[in-house]
Structure 1
Amino acid sequence: MALPGALELLLTRLGRFVVPAAVFVVAAFAFYFPARYVSMAVARRVTALANVDQAVELPALKVLHATIGVLAILVGASVSGVARFLAATAAITAGLTIALGFAARDVLGNVVSGVFIVLDPTFDIGDWIRWGDQEGVIEDISFRTTRVHTFDNELVAVPNSELTTNPVVNPGAKEFLRLCVTFEVDVENDLAAVTDLLIAAARDHPDVLDRPAATVRLREITETSAFLDVRFWVRSPEKIDVVRIRSEFTRTAKERFSAAGHDWPAADLSGEVGIRQVDEGEGSGPVVPDTDRRDGDDQ
């Protein structure tokens, strides 16, 4: 006979929770959708008329979107009475605030970093950037991450804090960009003739500038090889395929180098010779280096 009373108590407590929750959801969505539709349309119209840069427009629209969401939650909480409940339980609210603060520490750091990236005039959507051992073109800057499209056709989401705490190179920020290609040639070659050949190959490329002129620097020399750095300049690096220019120049230089009769460094054919005795009927197996044999031993 106690079951109906317990069930009634359960339904009563459940009703105290379900009704405010339903009111919260209805009120929040009733505010969110109209406010989002009107405010976003107005914001897009204003940014278009003001000719706002895309790197500023997209984050600003996302901030507006998030603000509408927060306001919708506040409206729902106020209408449903959830706000009064939270005010009555200040200790619980304070505990939740501290817990959320610790949990969102990294997220807030990325958000602040995203603001600095947006305000930095050296970064813009469509820019080619290089950080660490990666590089690509910025596609979007959001609250937490910056999306970069790499030259391997990969989309990388980079935390904003990583871009603000580490060196980032923007090769296309200036009008001109200097490229450097290193060649290893045989040390017995006439280095002056090789230098003239490489400079001519760079000068003949249509995308390489005449001024500043291409130069060749001897970077390192060993017993068998000489390392030459060919440096030349290109214009508007954000609009041209730097990889293509480097590849075309390298191929042209190699063809002219071989046609002129110059020598490449001799290949280093060093390694171990393995000896293995195979008994009759035994299948093939891995070759094991004979570590007991020394140079000069009788074969």
Structure 2
Amino acid sequence: MQVPNSLDGLLTQYGSVVVDFGITVVTFLVTFLLLYRIGKSVLVRATKKALNAREFSSAVVSLGSSVAAVLAVVGAVAIAATVAGFPAILSAFATLAGALALGLSFAAGDIIENFVAGIFILKDKPFTVGDYIEWDGNDGIVREINLRVTKLDSFDNEQLTVPNGDLASAVVTNPVANETRRVTFDFGIEYGASIADAREVILDEASKIDGVLADPEPAAPVTGLGDSAVVLNGRVWIDPAETGAGGVKHKLVENVKRRFDAEGIGMPYPYTELTGEIDVNSRDITDAPPADD
């Protein structure tokens, strides 16, 4: 093979290759830029419109818009490579995407799970910021809902950071989700006490507490016959958005106990009564076995 020794020779031998490659690169770049701008504009706008129409939170809308922009880049690269005739780029791109997906699935499984759970929490709204919730023996007031974790405050003012996957897979009790909430407490009275008098005291004291609703009205049915007491279940209803359940229960218990004491209605504590006979036989000490030296 003769080695070219001049610029004209190089251009003659490789000029067509350079021109073809330049045309291919230009075709790829032009196609990519056009498709990316059009695709990003259409996909992002359509994503925002669809998510806003379903009343998703701003965090989910922002996330969806970012994902749509990434999809626009991927689609533009794939189509532009096909138009320009870069099959090697498509093959390498597919291999790289598969490897990244596999690596992420192993390395970030928990993160992805919590991330997806956060999206569903923001969408389904089983609770919102400010709600008091209970789950798996834990409780707290929701202060912040992020895509990966939810932050809550305990009643001791301790911050709880809970992965969204735990909340999404648990049975979450939201006592403040509805317009009304029932607050109850069991009062035990002596068997000889008047049920009617005890019920009247409970209902009277319940009606005096601020925040207790008149409809549904307070009630105090007999719900049990214990070993040492007749049990009346004091029941009142509150608006959880306006009144705290704990404060109402504390006032109800204290006020009823004070009235029971004043009116002589006994509240017995559990006790056990033993009946029978004990036979004690005396024995002469001389009959006792000798003590060891």
RMSD over aligned Cα, in angstroms? Answer: 3.9
Equivalent residue number for residue 265 of structure 1? 268
Residue 108 of structure 1: aligned partner: 112
Is 1:174 aligned to residue 178 of structure 2?
A: yes
Corresponding residue number in structure 2 for 1:185 = 189
TM-score by length of 1: 0.59
Structure-to-structure mapping, 1:149-160, within 5 angstroms? 149-160=153-164
Deviations 1:118-172 (A, max 9, x none): 0124422222222232222211111221111222212111221222222222222
CA distance in 1, matches of 2:109, 2:97: 18
In structure 2, relative to structure 1, the CA distance for the partners of 1:249 and 1:116 (3 Å cut) is: same
| Deviation (angstroms), 1:256 | 0.4
User: Matched residues in 2 for 1:298 and 1:263: separation?
Assistant: 41
Question: Is 2:243 the partner of 1:240?
Answer: yes
1: CA distance between counterparts of 2:242 and 2:146?
A: 25
> Closer, same or farther in 2 for the Cα pair 1:95/1:249, shift >3 Å?
same
What per-residue deviation string (whole Å, max 9, x for no partner) do you get for residues 219-268 of structure 1?
Answer: 21123112221111112x13322211111111111100111101121453
Q: Is the 8 A contact 2:221 2:233 kept in 1?
A: yes
Does the C-alpha gap of structure 1 residues 107 and 192 become closer, same or farther in structure 2, counting only changes over 3 Å?
same
Question: Number of residues paired by the alignment?
Answer: 212
Amino acid at match of 2:256: A
What is the aligned-residue identity percentage?
27
1:201 corresponds to: 205
Matched with 1:98 is: 102
Distance 1:266 1:133 in 2: 28
What's the secondary structure of 1:184's corresponding residue? strand
**Post-superposition CA distance 1:67-121 (Å, at most 9, x none):** 7xx9xxxxxxxxxxxxxxxx97998986665343123222211111110110124
Cα–Cα, structure 1 residues 297 and 65, in superposed 2: closer, same or farther, change >3 Å? farther
Q: Matches of 1:114 and 1:247 in 2, distance apart?
A: 36
Matched-pair contact (CA < 8 Å) for 1:177–1:234: yes
Report the equivalent of 1:251. Answer: 254
8 Å CA contact retained: 2:133, 2:139: yes
Match of 2:138 among 122, 134, 147: 134
Asked if 1:57 corresponds to 2:58, the answer is yes
Q: What CA distance in whole angstroms lies between the structure 1 residues aligned with 2:198 and 2:150? A: 45
1:210-221 equivalences in 2 (<5 Å): 210-221=214-225
For 1:88 and 1:213, locate their aligned partners in 2 and report how far apart those are by CA, in whole Å.
72
1:144 aligns with 2:148: yes
What are the ranges of 5 or more consecutive residues in structure 2 without an aligned counterpart?
1-51, 71-90, 283-293
| Paired residues of 2:202 and 2:234 also in contact (CA < 8 A) | yes
- For structure 1, the residue ranges without an aligned partner over 5 or more in a row are 1-49, 71-86, 271-294
Q: Which amino acid aligns with 2:253?
A: T
The whole-number CA distance in structure 1 between the counterparts of 2:97 and 2:210 is 67
Is residue 187–residue 265 contact of structure 1 (8 Å, CA) maintained in 2? no
**Bigger CA radius of gyration:** 2
Give 1:279-298 correspondences, 5 Å limit: none
One-letter code aligned to 2:236: F
Say if 1:97 and 1:195 are closer, same or farther in 2 by CA, change over 3 A.
same
**Secondary structure class of the residue paired with 2:254:** helix
Cα distance change on mapping 1:254 and 1:58 into 2, 3 Å? farther
Give the counterpart letter for 1:209 in structure 2: L
